[in-house]
């Protein structure tokens, strides 16, 4: 493809175990989306090992970049903006993306902006749904985060609540591990739960104080462990599908209730889901049902854009650049980074 008048953003994402680079036209049109996943490597460890993840990013990043430009039919000289995740995430992993972005920005004179990973997850929806515009209520549920935020405009976000301990995805992963379902646990629980009875075992729904949009999931993980141990000690057989379904229902009852309350109390008429757990089929079905009852429109990205990718980072970078301009070459990366749009 010859470059036309489109504004091309290169989005780079390396915050965890995916080396992902995309080219996105005019903030919303995905021209390429290359993702080198390390899931197969970390299956053997039962989770991500930060140092190993960084090394794989280093090995993969140049070829992922080349393929991404090639798939889009462009060269680096056609790129107008570089967006890169600079937090939160694993610091060694983030450094690989940020160093690459800086090198390309410096060598080619292309402006660069740092993107908050969660702002990226929300933006995946702008690519999947070209008509979607703020304001809306957003639920971000991933391996590292569970947040309810009010997106008032592009790059204008108010955080209403978040997890006080484990993230929802982390909880899915840990429970899958104790059930022997493998890594990553979210999709495995999703599948197993379809064969199980969600009402077979009662796990407490932790709602916290009235009016709070915060979450706490660490007790639920312990409750599942206690249940498994007590069954084992009593010599009783455990149906993994029933545990998966009952656990999943306990997590989702809380998430769906709080997201709906936040939406209704803040008078929004759209809910936008984002992050790896937004791919969960039961969560989608429950939210569809609640939104239908309350006259709210529901959005979520296609599955490949729910988990980490470069396109969502390119989209968020495009809007941030239009509002705030570029970052300097002194851009740093942060394992913990306060939500910023």
Among 8, 10, 12, 16, binds ligand KG4 (CB under 6 A): 16
Q: Say whether residue 313 binds ligand KG4 (CB under 6 A).
A: no
* Alpha helices in 73-207, H assignment, sequence order: 91-108, 117-128, 168-178, 185-193
Residue whose C-alpha is closest to residue 303's, from 65, 36, 124: 124
Q: From the CB of 301, what's the least distance to ligand KG4, in Å?
A: 10
* Nearest to 157, CA basis, from 325, 282, 323, 289: 323
Question: Which residue number, 116 or 154, has a Cβ lying nearer to ligand KG4?
Answer: 116
Residue with smaller CB distance to Zn ion, 68 or 309:
309
Selection from Zn ion, ligand KG4, none that 83 binds (CB < 5 to 8 A by kind) is none
> Shortest approach of Zn ion to residue 279 CB, angstroms?
12
Instruction: State the Cα–Cα distance between residues 242 and 227, nearest whole angstrom.
Output: 12
Residue 127 engages ligand KG4 in binding (rule: CB under 6 A): no
Residue 215 corresponds to which tokens in the numbers above?
């979450």
Q: Which residues between 34 and 93 bind ligand KG4 (CB under 6 A)?
A: none
Peptide bond into 88 cis (omega under 30): yes
Query: Distance between alpha carbon 251 and the CA centroid of its chain, in Å?
Result: 17
User: Does residue number 308 form part of the binding site for ligand KG4 (CB under 6 A)?
Assistant: yes
Question: In whole angstroms, how close is the CB of 94 to ligand KG4 at the nearest point?
Answer: 12
Using the rule CB under 6 A, is 114 a contact of ligand KG4? Answer: no
Which has the closest alpha carbon to 75: 30, 29, 127, 10? 10
Three-class DSSP category at 84? strand
- Taking CB under 6 A as the criterion, the residue among 32, 100, 105, 142 binding ligand KG4 is 142
Residues engaged in binding ligand KG4 (CB under 6 A): 16, 142-144, 169, 172-173, 184-187, 190, 275-277, 279-280, 307-308
């Amino acid at each position: 493809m010859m470059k036309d008048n489109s504004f091309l953003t290169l989005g780079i994402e390396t915050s965890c175990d995916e080396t992902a680079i995309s080219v996105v036209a005019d903030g919303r049109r995905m021209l390429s989306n290359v993702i080198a996943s390390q899931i197969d490597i970390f299956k053997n460890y039962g989770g991500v090992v930060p140092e190993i993840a960084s090394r794989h990013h280093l090995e993969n990043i140049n070829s992922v970049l080349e393929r991404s430009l090639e798939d889009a039919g462009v060269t680096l000289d056609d790129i107008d903006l570089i967006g890169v995740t600079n937090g939160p995430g694993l610091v060694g992993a983030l450094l690989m993306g940020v160093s690459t972005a800086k090198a390309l920005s410096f060598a080619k004179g292309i402006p660069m902006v740092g993107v908050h990973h969660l702002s990226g997850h929300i933006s995946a929806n702008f690519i999947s749904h070209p008509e979607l515009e703020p304001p809306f209520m957003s639920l971000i549920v991933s391996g590292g985060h569970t947040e309810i935020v009010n997106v008032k405009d592009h790059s204008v976000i108010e955080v209403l609540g978040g997890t006080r301990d484990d993230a929802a995805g982390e909880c899915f992963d840990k429970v899958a591990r104790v059930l022997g379902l493998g890594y990553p646990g979210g999709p495995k629980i999703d599948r197993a739960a379809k064969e199980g009875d969600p009402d077979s075992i009662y796990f407490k729904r932790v709602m916290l104080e009235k009016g709070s949009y915060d979450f706490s999931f660490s007790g639920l993980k312990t409750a599942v462990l206690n249940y498994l141990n007590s069954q084992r000690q009593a010599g009783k057989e455990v149906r993994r599908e029933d545990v998966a379904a009952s656990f999943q229902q306990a997590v989702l009852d809380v998430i769906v209730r709080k997201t709906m309350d936040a939406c209704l109390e803040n008078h929004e008429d759209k809910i936008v889901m984002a992050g790896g757990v937004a791919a969960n089929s039961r969560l989608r079905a429950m939210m569809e049902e609640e939104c239908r009852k309350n006259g709210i429109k529901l959005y979520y990205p296609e599955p490949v854009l729910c988990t980490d990718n470069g396109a969502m980072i390119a989209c968020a970078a495009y809007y941030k650049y239009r509002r705030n301009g570029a970052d300097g070459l002194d851009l740093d990366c942060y394992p913990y980074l306060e939500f910023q749009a």
